[in-house]
Amino acid sequence: MNGSAAGKDRRSLLLLAAVGAGSLTGADAIGQTRAGKPDRLLTEKDRLDVGNRGPAMVERARTLGREYEAKYGNCAQCTIAALQDAVEFLPADESAFLAGSCLSGGATASGTANCGGFTGAGIVIGRLCGRTRAGFSDRAANKLAAKLIRKVAGKFEQAYGSVLCKDVREKSAKDCPEVVARAAGWAAEAILAQFSNFTIRPT
């Protein structure tokens, strides 16, 4: 095994340390991992050890969001992919990626629905800490996911006055790669601030 591979293995083993129910390590700690292991959604009590890598993850989410949107299009899928590829503990869930397929450009010809970047962020957040089908009857199970997506919504409203595609496109001069960069960055910040030692810097 070369040094790079050994380093990756060490990082994957040390990546996640949860507080509360006990300690979790590696990719087993959450969700459908890249190895397709069983799910475990995160809760308010979970805290994951990302060391000092939080700011780099946020910046990577922004960079990938911008690059993916410019290269591939579909703001929802590009936001999902950027978050999956940038935030170390997010599962690379193909179902979540597929769910964004029809949600770009406000999902309508008129752009009167939510920006795909915002919607993609919501899919990732829901996949990370949302309500399961088995827990469908628990109305409170949505609270954490709702709290996080509202943080992202607040950022959209500050920047663009709205989360609606047509409004975002107008305020951003149709710079969708930049919109996706921001959406991915804001979502990464909200996720990391909730589940790790990362602190959002005032802007």
- Return the higher-pLDDT residue of 200 and 127: 127
- Return the higher-pLDDT residue of 30 and 143: 143
Note the pLDDT of residue 13: 34
For the ranges 32-41, 161-170, 174-183, the lowest mean pLDDT is seen at: 32-41
Note the pLDDT of residue 203: 57
Note the pLDDT of residue 69: 97
For the ranges 33-37, 58-62, 132-136, 170-174, the lowest mean pLDDT is seen at: 33-37
Measured CA to CA, the distance from residue 29 to residue 8 in angstroms comes to: 16
Give tens-digit pLDDT for 83-134.
999 999 998 899 999 999 999 888 888 888 999 999 999 999 999 999 999 9
pLDDT confidence of 137, banded at 50, 70, 90?
very high
Task: Please state the pTM of the whole predicted model.
Answer: 0.81
Helix axes 75-86, 54-72, angle to 10 degrees: 150
pLDDT confidence of 202, banded at 50, 70, 90?
low
pLDDT confidence of 199, banded at 50, 70, 90?
confident
The chain-wide mean pLDDT, for the chain, equals: 84
Closest CA to 120 of 94, 81, 88, 178: 81
